[in-house]
Amino acid sequence: MTTGWTAIRDQRGPGGPREAAVAAWRDDRIGTRHLPDPQSPPAELTAFFASLSPRQRDRLATEHPLVVGNLDGAPVTLRYRANRLALRAALDAEQRRVDDRRLSPDGHREAVRRTHRFASLMRADRQILAFDPSGNGRVAEVFGDLDRAQRVSVIVPGVDTNLLTFQRSARKYTAPVGMAESLYAAERAAAPATRTAVIAWADYTAPVGVGMDAAIGRRAETGAARLVSLTGALPGHSRVALFCHSYGSVVCGVAARRLPPRVADLAVAGSPGMRAASAAGLGTRARVWAMRDADDWIAEVPYLEVGGLGHGADPVAPEFGARLLSAAGAVGHAGYFEPGTESLRNFAEIGVGSYRSVRCAGTGDACRGGISGATAL
C-alpha cells in the first residue's frame, strides 16, 4: 500500500530534487562556457574545476549544491561545502513536510526521522562527500583527511542501506558510519605514522531486504559504476582498499575489472558471491581477500548463478582462490567491524598495507603467500 509519505513525496516532481538540480545546472554558464555534463569522466571534471577561479567554484557550489556535492572530480572540500548547503535545503523541505497534515502517521514518522538524519549529517565535524535525498537517499562520509591520505579505505555496505540506516545508535557497528569509525580507529592504532582516510560509502541504491532485488545483479551493476567513478576520482596518489560486506561484495565483484590500478586490495566479508567463478575471473590486479564467520547465515545461501539469479561461487571456498582471512570474534552476519575482533584487525592491517601482519583462516600463513614484507605506503 502507498503511504501518505510516499504519495506526497512523489509530488515533488518528475525524478525528484536531484533531476531538478541537474536541469538547472545544464541551463547555467560560466561566462560563455557551458557547464560540463555531470556524467563526464572524473578527469574531465577535475580539469574543469581546476580552470575556475575560487570565486567561480564557490558560486557553483552555492547555486548548484546538489550537483557539485556529488561530482566525482570536484575538489573534496568544495563537495563538503556544497553538501552542507544541500543538506540545509533538504532539512528545510523535510521540516515543512513534517507539518503537512496530509501525511499518514507512518509518513509523518519517516519525515521526522529524515529531519533528524539531515540535522545530524550537518554537524560541523562531519565531512559529507555525497548526498542525494531523492527516494530512500544516498550518502557518503569521509573520516580523516582525504586530500592528504596515503591510504584510503572504502566501505561498501550491503542490503537495506539508505539515508535512514546510514548510522545507528543501537548495533552501531552494523551501519556504514559505525563500520567506518571502527576501521579508521583500528588503522590509526595499527600504523600511527600512516596518513589514512576511510569512506563510509552508501552512495548507491542498495536492495531492500533479501528478496528478488538482492538475488539479481541489477543494483550491483549501477552501484559498480558509481564505485568505479569514486575510486577514479579520489585526490592525490593514495593506495586504495575496498572492504565489501554482504551484497556490497557483489557490487565490488562487478566493479573489479574496471577499478583503477590504485585499488590495491579488495576484501569481502559475508559474501553471497562476487559474480565470478574465481578470484582470477574478477579480472583485477588487486589482491582479493575473503572472510566469513562460522555462524554467518550467508553460508546457507546457494552459491550459484542460474538465469541471472544468484551471484556465483563462494569466495571463501579454497578453489575460488581468494586469500582467506580469519574472522575470529565476529558474531553473525553483521559483526565484522566490531572492535576487538580479528576480522576488524585484519581489515585494518590491509588498509594500512601491513600485509605480513594479517592472520589467515585456519592454521598456517597461506593468505600471506607471495607478499614480501610490510608495504605501509
Per-domain residue ranges of the chain? 4-114, 136-368
Find the mean pLDDT for residues 24-31.
Answer: 96
Q: Cα dihedral sign for 220, 222, 226, 228?
A: positive
Task: Decide if pLDDT at 215 tops 70.
Answer: no
Across the chain, how many H-helices and E-strands are there?
A: 12, 10
**pLDDT at residue 213, rounded to an integer:** 66
| Model pLDDT for residues 99-139, shown as the tens digit of each residue | 888 889 898 999 999 999 999 999 999 999 999 999 999 99
Backbone angles phi, psi at 266, to 5 degrees: -135, 110
Between 305 and 187, the higher pLDDT residue:
187
| Matching residue, cell 549501477 | 222
Q: Model's pTM, two decimal places?
A: 0.92
| Model pLDDT for residues 272-322, shown as the tens digit of each residue | 999 999 999 999 999 999 999 999 999 988 776 655 666 789 999 999 999
CB 264 within 8 A of CB 286: yes
Residue 223: closest CA among 314, 178, 157: 157
**pLDDT at residue 131, rounded to an integer:** 98
Rounded to whole angstroms, the Cα distance separating 267 from 350 reads 9
Three cell numbers, residue 112: 521526522
Between 153 and 5, the higher pLDDT residue:
153
Three cell numbers, residue 192: 600511527
**pLDDT at residue 43, rounded to an integer:** 95
Host H or E run for residue 84: helix 76-98
Rounded to the nearest integer, the mean pLDDT of the chain is 91
Q: How many residues does the chain have?
A: 377
Rounded to whole angstroms, the Cα distance separating 92 from 304 reads 47
The CATH number of domain 136-368 is 3.40.50: yes
**pLDDT at residue 303, rounded to an integer:** 76
Rounded to whole angstroms, the Cα distance separating 349 from 336 reads 14
Find the mean pLDDT for residues 203-213.
Answer: 79
Task: Pick the range with the lowest mean pLDDT from 28-37, 160-169, 172-181, 308-317.
Answer: 308-317
Host H or E run for residue 131: strand 127-132
Three cell numbers, residue 225: 559504476
Find the mean pLDDT for residues 86-92.
Answer: 97
Rounded to whole angstroms, the Cα distance separating 133 from 203 reads 11
CB 303 within 8 A of CB 273: yes
Find the mean pLDDT for residues 151-176.
Answer: 96
Residue 243: closest CA among 263, 225, 260, 220: 263
